[in-house]
Chain A
Amino acid sequence: MNSSISEIDAKVVCYHCGNDCKDEDILEDDKHFCCSGCFTVYDILKDNNLCGYYDLNANAGVSLRAKNFKGKFDYLAEKAIENELLVYQDEHIAKVILSVPSIHCISCFWLLENFPKILKGVFSARLNFVKKELSLDFDPQTVSLKEIVELMATLGYEPQINLESTGKSKKIDHETRKLLFKIGVTGFCAGNIMMMSFPEYFNLDLANKLDATYQKFFLYFNFLLALPVFFYGGSDYLKGAYYSILENIKGNNKILSVDIPIALGITALFLRSSYETFIPQTAGYWDSMAGLVLFLLVGKWVQTVTFNYLSFDRSYKSYFPLAVKVKNNGINYKNVNELKKGDLYFVHHQELIPTDAILMEGNALIDYSFVTGESNLVKKLKGDIVFAGGRQVADQIELLVQKPVSTSYLTQLWNNDSFLKEKEIPTTELANAFIKYFTYLSIAIAAAVGIYWKFNNPELLWPAVTAVLMVACPCALTLSLPFTMNTTMSIFGRNKFFVKNQGVIQQLSEIDTMVFDKTGTLTEANRGEVRFAGELMPDEKRLVYSVVSQSMHPLSKLINNYLNGTVSLDVNYIFEVKGQGIEAIVDGCSVKIGKLDFVKNELAESQNSEVHVLIGNEYKGFFTVEPKFRTNWKGLLENLKKTFTLALLSGDNSKMSDTLKPIFGSQMRFNQSPQDKLDYIKKLQKNGHKVMMIGDGLNDAGALREAKIGIALTEDVQAFSPSCDAILDAEKLEKLGDYLRFSKTALNIVKLSFLLSVVYNVMGVGWAASGQLSPVVAAIFMPLSTLSVVFFSVGLTWLLARYNKLI
Chain B
Amino acid sequence: MEVIIILVILAILIAGSFLLAFFWATKDGQFDDTFSPSVRILIDNDRDENKSH
What residues make up the interface of A, taking CB atoms closer than 8 Å to B?
A: 49-52, 55-56, 106, 109-110, 113, 126-131, 172-173, 177, 180-181, 184-185, 188, 191-192, 196, 210, 213-214, 217, 221
Contact = CB atoms under 8 A, between A and B. Distances in A.
A129 B22 contact: no
A210 B26 CA distance: 41
Contacts of A50: 48
Interface in B10-50: 12, 15-16, 19, 22-23, 26-27, 29, 31-33, 35-36, 39-40, 42-43, 47-49
B19 A214 contact: no
B36 to A, nearest CB: 4
Contacts of A192: 12, 15
B50 to A, nearest CB: 10
A106 B48 contact: no
Contacts of B23: 181, 184
Contact of A188 (B15, B35, B42): B15
Chain A interface SS verdict (over half): helix
A214 B2 CA distance: 8
Nearest to A225: B12
A490 to B, nearest CB: 15
Contacts of A106: 39, 42-43
A370 B20 CA distance: 51
Contacts of A56: 43
Contacts of A210: 2
Band of interface residues on B: 20 to 34
A214 B39 contact: no
B19 A188 contact: yes
Contacts of B5: 213-214, 217
B5 to A, nearest CB: 5
Contact of B47 (A55, A129, A180, A214): A55
Contacts of A213: 2, 5
Contacts of B42: 106
Contact of B19 (A51, A127, A128, A185): A185
A101 B12 CA distance: 47
10 contacts: A49-B53, A109-B40, A113-B43, A128-B32, A131-B33, A172-B29, A172-B32, A184-B26, A192-B15, A221-B8
A131 B34 CA distance: 11
A185 B35 CA distance: 24
A283 B22 CA distance: 30
Nearest to B12: A192
Given A106-B39, A177-B26, A214 B33 contact: no
Contacts of B53: 49, 51
Given A52-B47, A128-B33, A130-B35, 20 more contacts: A49-B48, A50-B48, A106-B43, A109-B39, A109-B40, A110-B43, A128-B32, A128-B36, A129-B35, A130-B36, A177-B26, A177-B27, A177-B31, A181-B23, A184-B26, A188-B16, A188-B19, A191-B15, A210-B2, A214-B5
A316 to B, nearest CB: 28
A246 B7 CA distance: 47
A425 B15 CA distance: 39
Contacts of A129: 33, 35-36, 39
A448 to B, nearest CB: 42
Contacts of B39: 106, 109, 129
A403 B31 CA distance: 44
B33 to A, nearest CB: 5
Contacts of B26: 177, 180-181, 184
Given A172-B29, A184-B19, A217-B5, A52 B48 contact: yes
B31 A214 contact: no
Contacts of A184: 19, 22-23, 26
B8 to A, nearest CB: 7
Contacts of A126: 36
Contact of A113 (B16, B40, B47): B40
Contacts of A113: 40, 43
A197 to B, nearest CB: 13
A55 B33 CA distance: 26
Nearest to B37: A129
